[in-house]
Structure 1
Amino acid sequence: MKSLFIALLLMAGSIAGVAQTQAEMNKQAGQEYKDADKKLNTIYQEILKKYTANKTFINNFKEAQRLWVQLRDAQLKAMYPESAKSYGSMFPACKSNYLTELTNQRTEALRVWLNGLPPGETCTGSVGATQ
């Protein structure tokens, strides 16, 4: 019986060590979004550098990114159309998590201009057209 009590105390202690406040979870989610956004901007800048000689691509690429930011913001409004306080204390974390998801998707979509397409792909468009 004594060993069961000790085991329960140890489990309770380990759970308490992992528990976070809502403010901590909001802060962590916000940092994850900042990190994802930083990664996206790094990829974006690498593409601009790699394709700098292809002015037509660069102009279209910049426009596409500008429009993606508008789409991202519109998607966020569609996901959370009410005022922030109507979603409660979890809203900052939920918002950041959704922005992180959208940003990671965009980052992966942009990587194609750095990593190329699979061998044999015939519809390459501007991928690899650095001149």
Structure 2
Amino acid sequence: MRRVSPHDRRRFRRLPATELNLAWRPRNRLFARYRNIQGHDFTREGVAVTAAADTFSEGDRIELQLELVMAGTNLTAQGVVAEVVNVARQGHQARVGLAFDVPASRRFGASALRARLGRMEGILERSEKQWLRSQPLESITGLTG
């Protein structure tokens, strides 16, 4: 099990987003193109990404495309509205916390989007558990002495 910081404000355990492709665009520009962005962890409530330090500010609202890459059919969610809730700058890069605003995401109904995000979280969680089973115990942080 991974160690949790006492300063962690998340309600749900973070999951690595190694199989999740993300793209974003500003919320207030209708014809803006989506730009790829690197995701780090994911829950049904939000996602953490890395961006250039001056890309986002707290309170910004953006639109996301999420694609969970699987062996068969990929699971996607498009037009998901998110709010920037945390920006931790580290030199020229920033780690940015995005919280999903499900009621504002009009592409899906709110309950359908919640179900899709929950399904993505479940798939990533099972993937992480499978990866952990294949690792030697000594290499897993928090299990050894």
TM-score for the superposition, normalised by structure 1: 0.32
From the two aligned structures, give the one with the greater strand fraction.
2
TM-score for the superposition, normalised by structure 2: 0.29
From the two aligned structures, give the one with the greater helix fraction.
1
Which structure has more relative contact order (CA 8 Å, sep 6+)? It is 1
Report the structure number with the largest CA radius of gyration. 1
